[in-house]
Amino acid sequence: MSFALLHPRDQIVATMDRIYAHDMTTTSGGNISVKDENGDVWITPARVDKGSLRRQDVVRIRPDGSQDGIHPPSSEFPFHLAIYAARPDVKAVIHAHPGALVSFSMCGKVPDTRVFPESFNLCGEVAFAPYALPGSKKLGERIAEQFAKSSQPTSVVLENHGVVVAGEDLGDAFRRFETLEFTAQAIVHASQLGSVQYLDEAQLEKAGQQHALEEYDPFRPTSVGKEARKDIVDFVHRAYEHRLMNSGWGSFSARVDEDAFIITPQHVDRRELDLADLVVVRDGRRAAGQLPSRVAQLHRAIYQAHPEVNAIVNALPVHGAAFSASQYPLDTRTIPESYLFLKDVPKIALDDVYGDGAAVASVLSVKNPVALLENNGVMVAGRTALDAFDRLEVLESTAAAIIRSRALGAIRPMPDSVIEELLAAFPGV
């Protein structure tokens, strides 16, 4: 189902379902609005459970101020209207209280989105609005003032309150909202490991460059290709639900023959990914009319260098991503599963991440299946799609455990004798 073809009521319900399901708001907190082509603003109601919102609960506010609905609109509707008045290009607004961004708001700070290229590209510079009473005219004025300064910002942290994010439509606003909360979480976790590494302008510019692939007319799908498509879609959906990917980030590919693989596309919501969205890359060229993930060249280099690799994942699980933005090493000698599935985890420099793939292929293989990508999350190779996904889950679980352990004391890694015993007992892992 195309999200853009849904009525504003249904868009709002679907988006609130995702926000609530991933603990980015509470039963009573947060509100969403959409401004349609007639100038009507559709908004969540006041005092209605966000965990069971129905389409008939959504309220319409007409341009003349009259209202239509079985409930009163959210008490925060004045600042939604103020944003629309200040920024005619804005067609959707999300306000909520996601945990990490609330932490920033409590400290009077905003997350620096230069920690990941995609964060900066989507969220830009984040603004800050001083405290005002919720629902008050003053709050609306202070938020609208930030939005009115220029075409940016599209995200404003509210002092001791939460965050407001806007977009050209609700899908755009949600991707920005989800990305900003992920970024805030990653910064918090990376700060627990030490100082956070941020990207400078030259690095951000390099990250924005893309290697264009020539097109070819695709062949008729094979049984192997159809099976690979199903595996990719199933695992990407699972990765989204388990917060290993978000709506705009994360790439998964699977080999179909010697120099062809199927990979996730650009600009498609990972939760809504369908079989037809996937892109075949053959002999370094892309299927006509489709755009593969920007890491396609990296994946091809690995497949060419390692015939035993049949699946590759790029992801930004929040704890693993925190390590990618920190100098702190990810020591996998924590429990037997971690070392057996991950081995030693190197970090690949940013220049190599955006290179021709040769440097990455020299590091990643089935014998060394996991790497951190500097300020770009993690990359995992596997013999099968299940193998790659399993190692991704173990990686994120290990990274989370290490970060939590920082509050308890120094890690006691397994000694070399234990590692040797493990490798001897489980040689095929």
DSSP letters, 152-187, are: --SEEEETTTEEEEEESSHHHHHHHHHHHHHHHHHH
For residues 56 and 36, give the distance between their C-alpha atoms in angstroms, rounded to a whole number. Answer: 17
Give kind and range of the element (H or E) at residue 324.
helix 318-324
Higher pLDDT, residue 396 or 153? 396
Q: Is 108 left (phi over 0), alpha (psi -120 to 50) or beta?
A: left
Q: In whole angstroms, what is the distance from residue 312 CA to residue 237 CA?
A: 16
Average confidence score pLDDT of the chain: 95
What pLDDT shows up at residue 220? Answer: 84
HSE, CB side, 13 Å, CA atoms: give it for residue 381: 27
pLDDT digits (tens, 9 = 90+) for 178-192: 999 999 999 999 999
For residue 365, is pLDDT > 90?
yes
Per the CB < 8 A criterion, the answer to whether 300 and 281 are in contact is: yes
Compute the radius of gyration of the chain from its Cα atoms: 23
Please determine, for residue 209, whether its predicted confidence score (pLDDT) is greater than 90: no
Tell me the C-alpha distance between 270 and 241, whole Å.
Answer: 10
The answer to whether 278 and 266 are in contact (CB under 8 A) is: no
Q: Which candidate, 22, 86, 3, places its Cα nearest to that of 268?
A: 3
Percent of the chain exceeding pLDDT 70 equals 100
Ordered by where they begin, the domains of the chain are 3-193 (3.40.225.10), 223-425 (3.40.225.10)
The residue ranking higher by pLDDT, 212 or 49, is 49
Question: Which residue's structure tokens are 């005219």?
Answer: 137
Residue 213, pLDDT > 70, answer yes
What does the pLDDT look like over 52-89, one tens digit per residue? 999 999 999 999 999 999 999 999 999 999 999 999 99
Identity of residue 151: S
pLDDT given at position 428: 82
| Average of per-residue pLDDT across 276-301 | 95
Question: Binning pLDDT at 50, 70 and 90, where does residue 1 land?
Answer: low
CA atoms within 13 A on the CB side of 243: 20
- Average pLDDT (308-332) is 97
Residues 372-385, mean pLDDT to the nearest whole number: 98
DSSP strand pairing (155-158 vs 127-129): parallel
- What's residue 78's pLDDT? 95
Residues 111-143 as b/e (b if ≥16 CB within 10 A, e otherwise) read: bbbbbbbbbbebbeebbbbeebeeeeeebbbbb
pTM over cut 0.85: yes
Q: State the pLDDT at residue 150.
A: 78
